[in-house]
Structure 1
Amino acid sequence: MGRFSLAFLLLLLSSVAGGVASSTAEFVRNACSRTRYPDLCEQCLAVYAPAVHRSKLALARAALSVSADRAGTASAFVGRMSASAAARGSRNSLEAGAVRDCIETLRDGVDRLRRSVKEMAAMAGFADSRRSRFAWHLSNVQTWVSAALTDETTCLEGLAQFADPSVRTAVRKKVVEVAQVTSNALALVNQLGPKN
């Protein structure tokens, strides 16, 4: 093969690889455009574009993993904040109870999101002949992710009633972000059906 032919072949392969990367990035962008927070969705999931290979199922699973990770981080943050304030003796009993409830509901949400990721893995094995099983798994995921969103809202409501403004503000920022990525994950899950 001549030098010109080899250079042309390398250029062609580079162009094809760039087209595939562009195609998967466009796939993520299009899927995220149908979520409530499309910019956040794309920001969180762009890194997964090469791995999902235009699979709605794989993209939804990645979104759930991101949501579970962020919920776990938020729960740990609230726990550290609570421990720090308790050590300083700065919490009244109503505020302490609201923070404990928040931590518990966030942990419940993390558990539901992690179960959803596992359930999504089970869904990947069902073909057309097993649509009812796919639908059953999908229903479980939708229920658990919706419940996780409710957990996040419950946390914020308790803090709004009883927590000091500085505590409310710090926790709200973390929990709102978790609620947004969870909402996006649910929107991506709701786009699923057999063969995705």
Structure 2
Amino acid sequence: MSQPTLSFLLLSILSIAAGMAESAAANRSSSIQYIKSSCSITRYPTLCVQTLSPYANKIQRNNPQQLAQAALSVSLSKSRSASAYVSKMTRLKTLKTREYEALKDCVDNMKDSVDRLSGSIKEMGQTSKSTGQSEFSWHMSNVQTWVSAALTDDNTCVDGFSGHSLDGNVKTAIKGTITTVAQVTSNALALINRYASSH
């Protein structure tokens, strides 16, 4: 192959690669904008943008299903981490009896939350296969019910630590961890409701 032909080939490849990179960057920027505008309807918009931006490459603009699916994935991931964290805390040697009892209840609540969110993700996947509006509505109703129940589980866990007798490091740690889970789950529910109403 002659030198000019090789140079032309290399330039062509570089120009195609640059074009693809530019296109990917434009798509990502467009997705980020879509995430920001969608998150404005949630109760915790800053947290919503922060947790969903890493999914920008998987979310197409104007695709509320992909956005709701990503929000559910964030919620499930944080719920699983929180569940493991709470379980680990029950093994602390310095726990007061009431703290231990509240933690045990919280472990049960977080397990329920994880189960409900896992089921919601599977059910959400069924919405795109729905053959009609009534089937779509049935799947979406299940998702909305289960995510609402998961949010209730989160709040019940935090409520278990109400009262001054439980004040201390354990309560502070639990409230900090579970409050974030509740906030991302609340955001997910808002985006799910938006998807349900857009269909």
| 1:91 equivalenced with 2:96 (yes/no) | yes
Deviation at 1:33, TM superposition (A): 1.5
How much is the aligned-residue C-alpha RMSD, in angstroms? Answer: 2.3
Is contact 1:112–1:148 with CA below 8 Å preserved after alignment?
yes
Q: 1:160 to 1:81 in 2, by over 3 A?
A: same
Deviation at 1:95, TM superposition (A): 2.5
Q: Which residue of 2 is the match for residue 187 of structure 1?
A: 190
| Distance (Å, rounded) in 2 between the aligned partners of 1:78 and 1:119 | 27
| 1:43 equivalenced with 2:43 (yes/no) | no
SS in 2 for 1:84: coil
Percent identical: 41
Q: 1:169 to 1:195 in 2, by over 3 A?
A: closer
Q: 1:81 to 1:134 in 2, by over 3 A?
A: same
Gaps of 5+ in 1: none
SS in 2 for 1:102: helix
Q: Which residue of 1 is the match for residue 135 of structure 2?
A: 133
Deviation at 1:73, TM superposition (A): 0.8
Q: Which residue of 1 is the match for residue 80 of structure 2?
A: 72
Structure 1 consecutive aligned stretches of length 4 or more whose deviation exceeds 4 Å: 5-14
Q: Which residue of 1 is the match for residue 171 of structure 2?
A: 168
Deviation at 1:9, TM superposition (A): 6.2
Gaps of 5+ in 2: none
1:114 to 95, 118, 130: 118
| 1:59 equivalenced with 2:67 (yes/no) | yes
The one-letter amino acid of 1:167's match is V
| Distance (Å, rounded) in 2 between the aligned partners of 1:192 and 1:10 | 35
TM-score normalised by L of structure 1: 0.86
TM-score normalised by L of structure 2: 0.85
Deviations 1:50-108 (A, max 9, x none): 112122111111111110111111111111111123xx4x322x332211111101111
Is contact 1:123–1:138 with CA below 8 Å preserved after alignment?
yes
| Distance (Å, rounded) in 1 between the aligned partners of 2:88 and 2:132 | 45
1:177 to 171, 177, 180: 180
Deviation at 1:114, TM superposition (A): 0.8
1:157 to 148, 156, 159: 159
The one-letter amino acid of 1:62's match is A
**How many residues are matched?**
190
